[in-house]
Structure 1
Amino acid sequence: MLFLAILTIKSTNIAVGQSIEKIAHIEDPVLQLEAVLQFPANFGKDTIALKNALDPVLKLANKKNNSILKWGYYMRMADGYSIAFDRTNAVSDQYYRLAEQLLQKHPNIELEMIGYARQGYYNYVYRKVKEAFPFFLRANDLKSKIDIKKIPLVVKHYQFIANFYSYIGDHSIAVDYLQEALPFSKAASRERVDLINAIAVYLANDSLNHQAATYFNRAMTEAKLAKDSVWIGIISGNLADQAWKTGDRQKAIALVQKNIDLSMRFNERKDAMRANLNLARWYIVLQEWKLAKQYAVTSISLMEEKPYFLKYKMEASKLLSDIARGLNQKEEELKQLHVYLILKDSLEKRINDKEIQRFLWQRETERYNRTIQSAEEKRLHTKRIYQFVGLCLILVFAIVLLLINRSKAKIKMRNALLEKDRLKLGYEKQLLDQELLILKDSLGEFTNTIKQNDTTIQQLRQEIVKVSVQNPAYMAQVSDSLNAMLQTHIMTDERWLKFKHVFDKVHPGYLAQMKQNYSKITDNDLRILALQKLDLNNSSMSELLCVSTEAIKKAKQRLKKKMELRD
């Protein structure tokens, strides 16, 4: 009969004795946490001793502000209380919750996975399998995301998970965990033997006998290197099963007898019980009835009054019934058959309960997977929404950027045009200023010329008066010069228009404003005003307008009256 050594949470107190001082000086955080997780926690029902023993760990964690050490403290306190109560309890549950809350503040995916594995195994050990199931599912989900080198006590924790999956019948997952843990086990150690043997057992349960035989032989080699007689016996029994299946009956019997001898020598009663039962079954096949009965009775003597032994009691009763039939003992056959049927009914009820439980586990797995899938779909949907919103924002930003650049280009072009217009206006203003300067000079020159001509005309007239009698020929010449000068000096209508054009340029709006303010003034009045603006005297005006000085005076008087009437 194949045998798998089941580890329990009560056996985690191994390699104890590390002092808190030694733990404080360990630099590797994984090794430091491993030391804490192996710190003494089994004080029976004495929870005060438990608190006193683990209190230095909490003080060290607080002193160094080390969340990993504090997490380890919570785990060991949960272990200690589970041992004290010998069942699941509210205090252990509270410490598991504290550890989980701690990881929410200080995320650590490796510790999160191991925390789920430990809490699941805690429920599993005390046969709260339904409650354990979600924790193992969560731990399994995190497996692909963790760095196995950062897992403390990786062999032990992966054994926790493998044992559970084997219990619910999923041996392939159990094998995967143990194969990943195998490189972290110490060569020629009981731990390594246990791992390899467990892998072989799980493979055999899945009818992978050839692979199972390979691992059983590896386990035997490791057990011999470790000089571990207990495991040599256990593995001998497992190899006996393989030999019997292949038809090598003598080898199978020899191996199982070796298993019985070593198990009894080292007080492995359960293993010895299974080996005796197995040997009795084989002797029935060989029709060695007396030997079969001897080993069946020995097997029954090693059984206890516990639910675990119910299946083996039923098998023993069936074997004794077969043996009685072989020995032709009808009464004994009926007696053992009656016991067998009673035990079978009881066991079938338990099996049916287990099948129902497995159905519930399967349904729980499906529901969990649906929840994970739904959460993943929701996450992807949210991610798509964020991506869409992000894309829209990028497009909006790009459009705004293009509009800004376009606006900048327009502003730049407008500024260029404005600058061009400004330069053009500046140039035109410069031309106008130059023209105005020229016109001012021209008008000033005109005024000076008028004044000079007026002086010359007066001189010529005086000279005519002086020489009119003395020199008639010279007088004629002077008179001609005077007439010629008067002709060029007199402001005709044509000259007035040219003069007015220049005057309006130099004094823009002056004449128009006068005409607007004093509506009764005439064009002749405007001429008087223009000449007056140039500071010409009455004499110059009379010569220029070809009228007498008196006429100029009267014209000014009339103009003054018109302006006074306006006021």
Structure 2
Amino acid sequence: MSRLLCVIAFLLCHAIVQAQHRSFSNKSNSVGSVSSLETILMDQNFRSKDSTVVVDHLNELLQTAKAKKSAELEIIHDLLAADYYSKLSDKVNPRSDLCYKKALSSAKRIQNDELRLIVLIRQGYYYFVYRELEAAIPYFLQAGELIGQVDYKAVPLFSRHIHQISSFYGYIGNYSGAINLLQEGLPYCKDGTALHISMVNSMGVYSEKQQLLGQAVVHFQRALGIAERNQDSLWMGIIFGNLASIEEQKGNPYKAIRLLKENVRLSVKYSEHLDAMRSMIKLADVLIDVGGWQEAEGYLTRSEVYVKSKPFFLPIKTRIAKLRSEIASIKGYQADELLYLKQYVHYDDSLRATERYDELQRAYWQWQSDDFQRSIAAAHEERKTSLLLELAFGLLLTSVLIIVILLLNRSKNRHKIKSTMLEKEQLTYALEREVLNKELEKITNSWKEADEKSKESTSLIAGLQNDLEKLGKENTDIKVRSVEVLDELLKEPIMTDDRWTKFKLTFDQVFPDYLKKKKAKYPRLTEGDLRLLALMKLKYSNMGMSSLLGISMDGVKKGKQRLKKKMEDPSE
């Protein structure tokens, strides 16, 4: 018994070690392929302005994935194809949706949570960019839950994808959540890169949103130091603009103006038009406050060059119209002031409607987030309960196994005794059955003898019938009476009621309850039906049944048909 328990314990330990080894091997293989996947994701050929170049590279990547039977490469292909279609149509579109759906399905199928994470983030960001927040929320929620469960080193471009999801958190007003995500991603970001600077700068922006100006300055100065160390003038200009906002809030407008002018200069130099536009408008606002409305007017005119007729630029248009009306008021141009005020009111109404929608979306996010967290908590509790039940069941099963082994050892002798007694009972039963079989055989043989005698009688009666027919030609009355007597003799069955009673008693002993069960199952069976069933059980032929029952062959066949019908449908 102890050796058996040791074997069971060894097998359990071996299974656990094998499972851990498989898990480690899967992770190792995943980590080994991260760099190659990152290289493909960052390949600029997939972002070429020439559609032919992009399509050719996508087809080449898909062929490689199929040739290598690599689900990972197929997922990367689907993500890059989704990017291409979204840029091509500049909106949410069915082809991008389908690509994301395929990528997510493949990641789930191969059980790769690291790739599933980037698919969720990229699909959520795709909807977020085109401001379909309701569609983006479920993907960001799932990604947020998955972030704490994956190996960050095994996630391709982990810091870049973290930056994307943090921008969504910042948009919905969850600034602390955005900062926490950025802090998670920073250790995996290459030092000195534009992405590194952007992530640190974003932490400053979100701190400023929370009115944590001291922390904001720390982050901005850190980002500026990285930019200066790597001679990234573009980012230096952007950070100057952010520091200018801090200085304005501190009451230092002229310092803010110097920083904003440097921001404008560098942004224009490096064709960062959106940042240049925002900086020019901010600069015009500060200049008006200090009386430099003429210079402010020039910056507003320059900024309008970059404004486009897209929903994204609605806040920009609103602010420009307001500043234009202020300058017209200072100049005393009432007609222009009224014109710009009308534009401002129009844009502001549209903006407020948009902001109300955004507020609703943020509230929807919060509701969805709370509901998602509740469902996660419920799932954790369910898993915990399931684990406890499995543990209890395992202990119970082990206990039962031990008890069974003990009982088996104790019951060996009892089993031997029972086996001996069973053998004796089987021998006794066999003897009794042999006696009954002999008795049944005797009855059957007597029936056969009676059958043979019946055939002889039939033959004799037939001969007599011929002789009587000859005599009947002379005397008709004698012929009629003789035929009636012969018919009665021919109709007399071999299996009389007395013989049936005796036969049934013996049959029931050889085949216990056979007829009784048939009668119980099919209550409409008659005694004649039971006689047929008994003879059929004994493998009698139709001719044998005809002789024993004293009916014709057709009568036997019809009886069998009626019997079959009753047994197929008891209602008949």
Give the TM-score normalised by the residue count of structure 1. 0.62
Q: 2:143 aligns to what?
A: 139
The match for 1:253 is 257
Pair 1:271 & 2:285 matched: no
- CA shift, 1:298, in A, is 3.9
Amino acid at match of 1:60: T
Question: What is the aligned partner in structure 2 of residue 125 from structure 1?
Answer: 129
CA shift in 2, pair 1:322/1:99, >3 Å: closer
Q: Deviations over 1:41-78 (max 9, x none)?
A: 346695x7655423443343344443323322232233
The alpha-carbon deviation at position 192 of structure 1 amounts to 1.9
**Any idea what the Cα deviations from partners look like across 1:85-114, whole Å, max 9, x if unmatched?**
433333333333333333333222211111
| Stretch of structure 1 that moved more, 292-301 or 196-205 | 292-301
- The question of whether the paired residues in 2 share the 8 Å contact of 1:213 and 1:242 is answered with yes
Q: 2:320 aligns with which of 307, 316, 320?
A: 316
Q: Tell me: CA distance 1:404–1:376, structure 2 relative to 1, closer, same or farther (3 Å).
A: same
Aligned twin of 1:201: 205
Q: 1:210 to 1:388 in 2, by over 3 A?
A: same
Deviations along 1:139-195, one digit per CA (max 9) or x if unpaired, are: 110111111111111222112211222222222222222222223333333222222
SS for the counterpart of 1:267 is coil
Instruction: Tell me which amino acid in the other structure corresponds to 1:169.
Output: G
User: Following TM superposition, by how much is the alpha carbon of 1:331 offset from its aligned partner in structure 2, in angstroms?
Assistant: 4.3
Cross-structure match for 1:31 = 35
* 1:60/1:298 CA distance change after superposition, 3 Å: closer
Change (3 A) 1:266 1:63: closer
CA distance in 1, matches of 2:59, 2:346: 53
- The structure number with the bigger radius of gyration is 1
Q: Secondary structure at the match of 2:46?
A: coil
Where does residue 430 of structure 2 map in the other structure?
A: none
Contact 2:257–2:287 (Cα < 8 Å) also in 1: no
- Look up the match of 1:41: 46
Q: Which of 379, 384, 395 in structure 1 is aligned with 2:383? A: 379
Q: Which amino acid counterpart does residue 67 of structure 1 have in structure 2?
A: A
1:187 aligns with 2:191: yes
Q: Secondary structure at the match of 1:41?
A: helix
User: Does the C-alpha gap of structure 1 residues 86 and 329 become closer, same or farther in structure 2, counting only changes over 3 Å?
Assistant: closer
State yes or no: 1:366 paired with 2:370.
yes
Q: Compute the displacement of 1:213 (Å).
A: 0.6
Q: CA deviation at 1:138?
A: 0.8
Residue ranges of structure 2 left out of the alignment (5+ in a row): 1-29, 418-572
1:351 alignment partner, one of 352, 355, 366: 355
The answer to whether residue 87 in structure 2 is matched with residue 83 in structure 1 is yes
Partner of 1:171: 175
* Separation in structure 1 between the aligned mates of residue 257 and residue 62 of structure 2, nearest angstrom: 55
Letter in 2 for 1:203: S
Aligned to 1:67: 71
AA aligned opposite 2:166? A
Return the alpha-carbon distance in structure 2 between the equivalents of residues 335 and 76 of structure 1.
47
Distance of 2:299 and 2:351 partners within structure 1 = 23
CA distance in 2, matches of 1:120, 1:148: 19
Distance in 1 (CA, whole Å) between partners of 2:31 and 2:115 is 18
Q: For residue 233 of structure 1, give the secondary structure of its aligned residue in structure 2.
A: helix
Once the two structures are TM-superposed, the CA of residue 33 in structure 1 deviates from its matched residue by 1.1
Summarize the Cα distance change of 1:399–1:101 in structure 2 as closer, same or farther, 3 Å threshold. Answer: same
**1:216 paired residue among 193, 215, 220:** 220
**Does the C-alpha gap of structure 1 residues 354 and 41 become closer, same or farther in structure 2, counting only changes over 3 Å?**
same
Instruction: Count the aligned residue pairs.
Output: 386
| Contact 2:46-2:53 within 8 A present in 1 as well | no
Does 1 or 2 have the higher relative contact order (CA < 8 Å, sep 6+)?
A: 1
Contact in 1 for aligned 2:204/2:216 (Cα 8 Å):
yes
What corresponds to 2:118 in structure 1? Answer: 114
Q: Which of the residues 243, 247, 250 maps onto 2:247?
A: 243
Q: Provide the rounded CA distance (Å) in 2 between the counterparts of 1:68 and 1:56.
A: 15
In 2, Cα distance between equivalents of 1:64 and 1:331: 71
Instruction: Mark the runs of 5 or more structure 1 residues left unpaired by the alignment.
Output: 1-25, 415-567
Taking the aligned partners of 2:134 and 2:302, their CA distance within structure 1 comes to 36
Deviation of 1:303 (Å): 2.6
Q: Which residue of 1 aligns with 2:309?
A: 305
Structure 2 length as normaliser, TM-score? 0.61
Q: CA deviation at 1:80?
A: 2.8
Give the drift of 1:287: 3.6
- Match in the other structure for 1:57: 61
Q: 1:398 to 1:352 in 2, by over 3 A?
A: same
Letter of the 2:118 counterpart: I
Letter in 2 for 1:118: R
Aligned residue type for 1:367: D
Structure 2 CA distance for partners of 1:170 and 1:71, relative to 1, 3 Å: same
Please point out which of 96, 100, 106 is paired with 2:100: 96
One-letter code of the match for 1:270?
A: L
Letter matched to residue 285 of structure 1: D
